[in-house]
Chains A and B, each alone.
Chain A
Amino acid sequence: MTKEIAICAEGLSKRYRLGSAGTAHDSLRDLLASGARALMGRGRTPRGNSQRQAFFALRDASFEILRGENVGIIGANGAGKSTLLKILSRIVEPTSGRALVAGRVGALLEVGTGFHGELTGRENIYLYGAILGMTQREIAAKFDAIVDFAEIEQFIDTPVKRYSSGMYVRLAFSVAAHLRPDILLLDEVLAVGDAAFQRKCMNFARELQRQEATILFVSHNMFSIKAMCTRVIYLQSGRIEYDGPTDPGIEIYERGAHLSVVPWSKDNPDDWAVELTDIELSDQAGKPKSVFDFGERMKIRLRFNARERLEAPNVMVAFVRSDGVASNVYATDTDKFVMGAVDGEGTLELTTSPLKLVAERYVIHVLFRMRGTQRLLCAQVGRSFHVRHEEFDPLNYGVFHEGGEWRLARARKFDEDFCESRNVAAP
């Protein structure tokens, strides 16, 4: 028997007009006029003077998702990921297109959703549960499990305005998850909370998955996408660029992210004094590659363009693990390398020490900073590469591996002590 379809979207689009919120153009009179037109059933506002630039947050998105499928939604900031989830959770209406959704939808978009600061944790569980569509009886039945999962027993009768942000997220996730939705929409929620809780959430999501729940998961963390999803939808500027198995999808996404701005920066790259124009990875002989053996040296060649004359900037090259942790950073300053003044195009070469990072995928972030002031001149994502080793994996060997020296000291003495304390004759 074929699986049931959980979500079916046909040509979903959402259009916003730039600057439409709160500009001087929007007078009450305009609203009443167009509202009246809309009420008359002739919704189209005439173009003319109110013509402003429109943009599609989501454009013509069509897809089908089967029951029990876990789908990762990936893409750069502003690619339409959150808009898609908001449409599917019925918070915003699509401008055109439609979607059919089967079963109960639970959405956790950002954090703290629907909590009221003055109310206690207990009261908020009931409030939030009701908002998500649970009955009071259902909530009462799951109350203990919710509190238990969120780990907030001793604060349950404290107003949530006194909660830490971590407690907030835990409680929100816990309620949403215990709703037992048929479809769960998660937007970057797991990015908050601590590592232990994130793991707990992942396990819970897998549990839901086993029970045939459909999960749509927006994240910038490719590590958790890989761990949770068998399929990804990659959005670029509101369009579906790729829809298919996870690994090739992430690869395409990362190719798209090549030389893009690092995720944590809100700067406009056009304002930066330096632009990274290319990055090449090769072995020491200069042969380009993207998979390196553990212990191999890597040669990184950065091509950049300085838009102004810069006195000896500090250049940093960071290897960022797929869960966002910078695992190793090279910097011209710490290596006592002084570039001198740069202006216009230039090429910088870095040969790394033998790689000691465990076998994983790493993304290279490149940062240019002004010496002294630390002004950010450039912060771009370069390429990604893999480290290959049969044994040293992140699960068993942490971040990097370096051998140590071992010696068995006082072995004989230990045996004597041991035997004495047991009152037996030493061998």
Chain B
Amino acid sequence: MSVLEEAPPADGPGRGTAALRGRNSLPITEIRSGRGLFDLDLGAVWRFRELLTTLIVRDIKVLYRQAALGAAWAVFQPIFAVAIFTVVFGNFARIPSDGAPYAVFAFAAVLPWTYFAEAVRRSSLGLVQDAELVRKVYFPRLVMPLASVIAPLVDLAIAFVVLLVVMVLYGVAPTWRLIAIPPLVLVTALLALSLGLWLGPLNVRFRDVKHTLPFLLQVWMYASPVIYPLSLIPEHLRWFYSLNPMVGVIEGFRWALLSKGDPDVTALAIGAGMTVVLLAGGLIFFRRMERFFADLI
């Protein structure tokens, strides 16, 4: 891969640059190739925080624009998904639901999963979708996957309210355990972000990602306890199953919402650990790759 080649080290600062640095009333930006491995320059993202909020608002606005039902889709989508799961898996296949009404049991998992899948999809494909921006304007590219992960939180919040209503209808009372939801959402968002940081740059280079992603997400959903309970997995395989970081998250949601059993701390710890590793690697990978985006996109 040609463009990945490192440039020879630049010569020492010449007379001109010294003069420029010496007396200048304006802030100076240095343009050069290459950066240190851990020079993530997250400060740049902070400086562009206004762009981040603008992009988030744009994503939210654009999503339901020119849809006759508008934001009502955010309500219908999870309801449809849960209704189908309840009929097919709850009523026909009679999959156990750990004692809770199947609809509530499924909804508690569909909630984080829908958000996760949407956030991964958007953060992975967003760079290419906004190719015009990448090709023609400079800004820290990290802003794009960040916005992609934050924007669908609005849908999540709406779906959460719907879930509370459904819970009341089924006679499942929310408890103080709901306070566990925000940190769980944070873990989900960071996990989605880290996947976007890996898949986004890959998609810039190989559009295969776009075609593989729906398939990958579908497999991933069935590999997570969305339509069935964790208790269905044989005890001795649990640790392996829990290497899927979404296992801990989904079980955490069920624990917080359904008020049954104890939290699966091991699964959650494994999930959080995986997230941290993926995120750190993803940040480094993304920053390494972002300088070639405009050349390749």
Chain A residues engaging chain B, CB cutoff 8 angstroms: 4-5, 8, 10-11, 13, 15-17, 20-21, 26, 28, 30-31, 34-35, 37-39, 41, 43-45, 50, 52, 54, 62, 64, 86-105, 107, 109-110, 112-114, 116, 118-119, 123, 126-127, 130-136, 159, 182
* Known interface pairs A8-B19, A45-B1, A113-B132; A100-B31 also in contact (CB < 8 Å): yes
* CB-CB under 8 A for A94 and B5, given A102-B26, A113-B137: no
Q: How far is the CB of A132 from chain B (nearest CB, A)?
A: 7
A4 to B19, CA, bound (A): 9
CB distance from A151 to the nearest CB of B (A): 23
CB-contact partner of B10 in A10, A116, A126, under 8 A: A10
**How many angstroms from the CA of A17 to the CA of B29 in the assembled complex?**
28
Interface centre among A50, A93, A114, A127 (most CB of B within 10 A): A93
Complex CA gap A95/B292 in Å reads 10
A104 to B30, CA, bound (A): 12
Set B1, B37, B51, B54: member contacting A39, Cβ < 8 A: B37
Question: Are the C-beta atoms of B295 and A131 separated by less than 8 Å?
Answer: no
User: Which residues does chain B contribute within 8 Å of A17, judged by CB atoms?
Assistant: 2-3
**Smallest Cβ-Cβ distance to B140: which chain A residue:** A90
Given contact pairs A4-B24, A159-B65, a sample of 17 additional A-B residue pairs in the complex whose CB atoms are under 8 Å apart = A5-B20, A17-B2, A45-B2, A50-B2, A64-B20, A90-B31, A91-B138, A91-B294, A97-B7, A97-B32, A103-B27, A104-B26, A109-B137, A114-B136, A119-B62, A132-B137, A135-B50
Interface residue? B14 (CB, 8 A): yes
- Residues of B contacting A102 in the complex (Cβ-Cβ under 8 angstroms): 20, 24, 26-29
CB-defined A-B contacts under 8 Å, sample of 12: A16-B2, A26-B205, A35-B1, A43-B4, A87-B31, A91-B137, A98-B32, A103-B26, A116-B58, A123-B61, A130-B55, A132-B137
B26 touches A34 (CB 8 A): no
- The count of residues in chain B whose C-beta lies closer than 8 Å to any C-beta of chain A is 61
Name the B residues within 8 Å of A31 (CB-CB).
Answer: 1, 4, 202, 205-206
* Most A C-beta atoms less than 10 A away, residue of B21, B29, B32, B137: B137
Q: Is the interface of A mostly helix, strand, loop or mixed?
A: mixed
CB-based contact B295/A35 at 8 Å: no
With A4-B23, A10-B17 already in contact, the answer to whether A96 and B10 are too (CB < 8 A) is yes
CA distance A11 to B4 in the complex (A): 19
- Residue of A whose beta carbon sits closest to that of B207: A22
Q: Are B29 and A20 in touch, CB under 8 angstroms? A: no
Per-residue CB contact flags for chain B residues 166-210 toward chain A (1 = under 8 Å, else 0) read: 000000000000000000000000000000000000100110100
Are A98 and B6 within 8 A (Cβ)?
no
A35–B289 Cα gap in the complex (Å)? 8
Q: Are A20 and B2 in contact (CB under 8 A)?
A: yes
B3 contacts across to A, CB distance below 8 A: 16-17, 20
Give CA–CA (A114, B65) in the complex, Å: 18
Residues of A within 8 Å of B53, CB to CB, are: 130
Of B33, B284, B296, which contacts A95 at CB under 8 A? B33
Q: Give the residue name and chain of the B residue nearest to A115 (CB).
A: B132
Q: Are A107 and B137 in contact (CB under 8 A)?
A: yes
**Which of B10, B55, B206 meets A98, CB within 8 Å?**
B10
